[in-house]
A and B are shown apart, each in its own frame.
Chain A
Amino acid sequence: MNLLEKLDAAAAARKALLPNGVGAFGIPIEEIFSATEARIGDRRVLLMGTNNYLGLTFAPECIRAAHEAIDKEGTGTTGSRMANGSYFGHRALEREFADFYQCSSSIVFTTGYQANLGTISGLVGPGDTVLIDGDSHASIFDGCILSGANIIRFKHNDMADMEKRLRRLGDNIETTLIIAEGIYSMLGDQAPLADIVQLKNKYGGILLLDEAHSLGVLGKSGQGLVETTGLLNEVDFITGTFSKSLCSIGGFCVSNHPQLEQLRYVSHPYIFTASPSPATIASTRAALELLRKGSHLRDKLWSNCRQLYAQLKEVGYQLGPDPGPVIAAVVATPQQALLLWQQLLEHNIYVNLILPPAAPEGKSLVRCSVNAAHTTEEIRYVGDTFAKLYGAINMQT
Chain B
Amino acid sequence: MTESNYDEIMKLLCDRLSDLANADVLITPETNLINQLSIDSIKLLNLIMEVEDAFDISIPINVLTDVQTVRELADLVHKIKITSS
Contacts and interface: CB of A to CB of B under 8 A. Distances in A.
Interface string B52-84: 110011111111000000000000000000000
A266 B14 CA distance: 43
B56 A168 contact: yes
A129 interface: yes
A144 B60 CA distance: 11
Nearest to B84: A168
A16 B59 CA distance: 34
A151 B49 contact: no
* Range for the number of chain B residues in contact with chain A: 10 to 19
A167 B23 CA distance: 37
B4 interface: no
Interface in B14-56: 40-43, 45-46, 48-49, 52-53, 56
Given A356-B40, A357-B41, A150 B60 contact: yes
A341 to B, nearest CB: 21
A150 B62 contact: yes
B62 A153 contact: no
Given A153-B45, A153-B49, A356-B40, A168 B57 contact: yes
Nearest to B48: A153
A129 B45 CA distance: 17
A144 B65 CA distance: 14
Interface string A271-283: 0000000000000
Contacts of A155: 49
B40 A357 contact: yes
Given A164-B53, A165-B52, A152 B60 contact: yes
Contacts of A150: 58, 60, 62-63
B60 A129 contact: yes
A155 B61 CA distance: 14
Interface of B: 40-43, 45-46, 48-49, 52-53, 56-63
Closest 4 CB pairs of A and B: A150-B60, A357-B40, A357-B42, A168-B58
23 contacts: A134-B46, A134-B49, A144-B62, A145-B62, A148-B62, A150-B58, A151-B60, A152-B58, A153-B45, A153-B48, A153-B49, A154-B49, A155-B49, A161-B49, A164-B53, A165-B58, A168-B52, A168-B57, A169-B58, A356-B40, A357-B41, A357-B42, A362-B40
Given A144-B62, A357-B42, A360-B42, 15 more contacts: A134-B45, A148-B62, A149-B62, A150-B58, A150-B60, A150-B63, A152-B61, A153-B48, A154-B49, A161-B49, A165-B52, A165-B58, A168-B52, A168-B58, A357-B40
